[in-house]
Amino acid sequence: MGKKVLIVGGVAGGASAAARLRRLDENAEIIMFERDEYISFANCGLPYYIGETIKERSKLFVQTPESMHARYNIDVRNNSEVTQVVTADKKVIVNSKSRGIYEERYDYLILSPGAKALRPNISGINSKRIFTLRNIPDTDAIKLYVDHQGVNSTVVIGGGLVGIEMAENLRKRGLNVTLVEAAPHILAPFDDDMVVMLEKELLKQGINLILSDGVKSFQEIGNQVEVTLNSNLKLDADLIILAIGVAPDTAFIKDSGLELGPRGHILVNEKMETNQTCVYAVGDAVEVVDFITKQKTAIPLAGPANKQGRIAADNVAGLHSVYKGTQGTSIIKVFGITAASTGANERVLQKADLPYQIVYVHPESHASYYPGALPMTLKLLFNGQGKVLGAQAIGYDGVDKRIDVIAAVIRLDGTVEDLTELELAYAPPFSSAKDPVNMAGFAAQNILADMTHVVAWKDIEMYKDEDYTLVDVRSQKEFANGHIAGAVNIPIDSLRERIWELDPNKTIIEYCQVGLRGYIADRILSQKGFKVLNVTGGYKTVSALS
């Protein structure tokens, strides 16, 4: 018999570690412990089963104990909770439903305990009508309650990924839904100027959205729960979904000698090794390095957990793989809209004190002359050397592939120049000869080459003390349909003939619909000696914020 490897926790990190290790080492003795009944399931599919987009419960299960044993010869022990890790003796203490309390020794230990839903000490939070969503039992309980308890209304607490997905799916079940978020905006991966588009979609779909307001208390009144917010606003609902975040589930290792971070995350090196010999850790319970800022962080996502499990297994098997950090690539469906992000956003970059520049483009999902082209908004963040730091995209079609391309460029330490040079698949039904990714690269390239002089609408306030003229270079019809207050209209095709109307002693702040005509206006005016600022993203970005 070869080395003995214990794996604590299944799902993404633990299950991928077990399968990878078996493929690398046929002789290892591999034992996986899972506290619950289910060892490997589709976490991200749980809201869609509750919403009945996923009809069959069985579709949620990736592996069962029987299938893991049959294919990988892994001793899977579900309903078995590891309650203590004794690193000095290289053993764990297990509390098993079928075998009681016993100990198991190891040569190597891989910890993948995951995270648990936060349940802060708020008055009334233990009501049986307040649910969290992390696993199959949680899912079954919520669906059973919605199916059979005559639920008509719900309050979802928390505007993160799970909160938004639950709000959408319960709304699709016909419930009246109120979403409460303590922060000024939902979905922290997105900057304020992007996420407002998603908030408008929630309102359009009938979700009552309450921002900048947290929960003070819960109280059961009859068959409902009364939610009192910090503003003293009171909400009544049949069902409460608590989705305010997660905490690492690491209480069981507090006396093990394993080093933990300030919020209880297990500290690991690039090989996923802990500070204890032959002990590795992966998944939502570990602290990781932010790929962009290089600072310590925690990003609970399934993709990184799978990769970390594979890397831990590699190192147990002697392959010396390393994990280079998490860049937080994520995507979400918000009713009819798709929103995706990768890398750092403005808040993260500001907190890390990293300088950056921004560009917005508003391309079509494919060639505009081919039927079905739909608009998207793409925001790119990059530094003065052209290195791509992050991106966010929101639209109806093709958002996923654009963010995936940029995510790959970021992972390879790519630049704006790389974005312009990418040769991407093109045919009219799928893209344009200049893909949106290329367009974002071109726009950023122009900024770095000082070929255009951009300003974000939110930063125009800095120029209030300057004597500037605000110019709308769109057509008269576009201008009449809506414009920024105080702007004068000089259409781009008339700009050369009407340039005498502009005072060369004033800064010209100009904009078009999406930025392209504004860039052309910038080139004309700059070469005529004017000081020009072009509003990046144009009127479309400005109007999205209003």
Residue positions annotated with a catalytic role: 44
- Within 339-491, where are the H helices? 346-351, 399-411, 416-421, 436-448, 476-480
Q: How many CB atoms lie within 10 A of CB 315?
A: 20
Instruction: Indicate if the alpha-carbon torsion angle 448, 449, 454, 459 is positive or negative.
Output: positive
Q: Is 153 exposed, middle or buried (0-12, 13-18, 19+ CB in 10 A)?
A: middle
Q: Which tokens belong to 191?
A: 């900057």
Classify the phi-psi angles of 513: left when phi > 0, otherwise alpha if psi is within -120 to 50, otherwise beta: alpha
Sequential DSSP letters for 285-318: GB-EEBTTT--EE----HHHHHHHHHHHHHHHTT
Any idea what the Cα angle at residue 508 is, between residues 507 and 514, rounded to 5°? 140
Q: Is 30 helix (H, G, I), strand (E, B) or coil?
A: strand
Is residue 113 a contact partner of residue 223, using CB atoms and an 8 Å limit?
no
Q: Which residues contact 256 (CB under 8 A, 6 or more apart)?
A: 84, 85, 86, 87, 276
Per DSSP bridges, beta strands 100-105 and 234-237 are: unpaired
Q: How far apart are CA 407 and CA 414, in angstroms?
A: 10
Place of tokens 């190597």: 108
Instruction: Indicate if the alpha-carbon torsion angle 400, 406, 409, 411 is positive or negative.
Output: negative
DSSP state of 267: P
Is residue 333 a contact partner of residue 171, using CB atoms and an 8 Å limit?
no
Least Cα distance to 272 among 321, 319, 317 occurs for: 321
